[in-house]
Amino acid sequence: MQTSPPRGPLSEGEGETPLPFGEGPGVGFQLRNSYEIRKNYHDHLIKIGTKLMKSAKRKVMRDFIFETWRKYEFA
C-alpha cells in the first residue's frame, strides 16, 4: 500500500538525514526523509500493539472459560 507524504513542516525532502547504508569501512550513505522514518516507526508500533491485544484477548478468554467451568463444576 503506497501512501502519500504528509503536508506540513515535515513534508517530503525536509529534515533529510544521511544514514549508513551497507557494511564495512567506506560505505556510502542513503538519504531517508523524516516521513519514511516516521512511517516505519508507526508500522512497528502497530505490530507491537496488535501482538499485545491478541495476548490480552487470549488471557481474558482463558480466564472466562476457567471461571465458567468452575461455576458449573462446583455448583
CA dist 49 and 66 (Å) reads 26
- In this prediction, residue 22 carries a pLDDT of 52
Round to the nearest angstrom and report the end-to-end CA distance of the chain. Answer: 54
What long-range pairs does 51-54 form, CB within 8 A, spacing at least 24? none
- In this prediction, residue 70 carries a pLDDT of 81
- In this prediction, residue 23 carries a pLDDT of 54
Say if CB 20 and CB 44 are below 8 A apart. Answer: no
Q: Quick one: 38 exposed, middle or buried, by C-beta within 10 A (0-12, 13-18, 19+)?
A: middle
Q: DSSP class of residue 45? A: H
The pTM (predicted TM-score) of the whole model is 0.41
- In this prediction, residue 32 carries a pLDDT of 63
Per-residue pLDDT of the chain (75 residues; tens, 9 = 90+): 555 555 555 444 545 555 555 555 555 555 567 777 788 888 888 899 899 889 998 899 888 888 888 888 765
Q: Per-domain residue ranges for the chain? A: 17-73
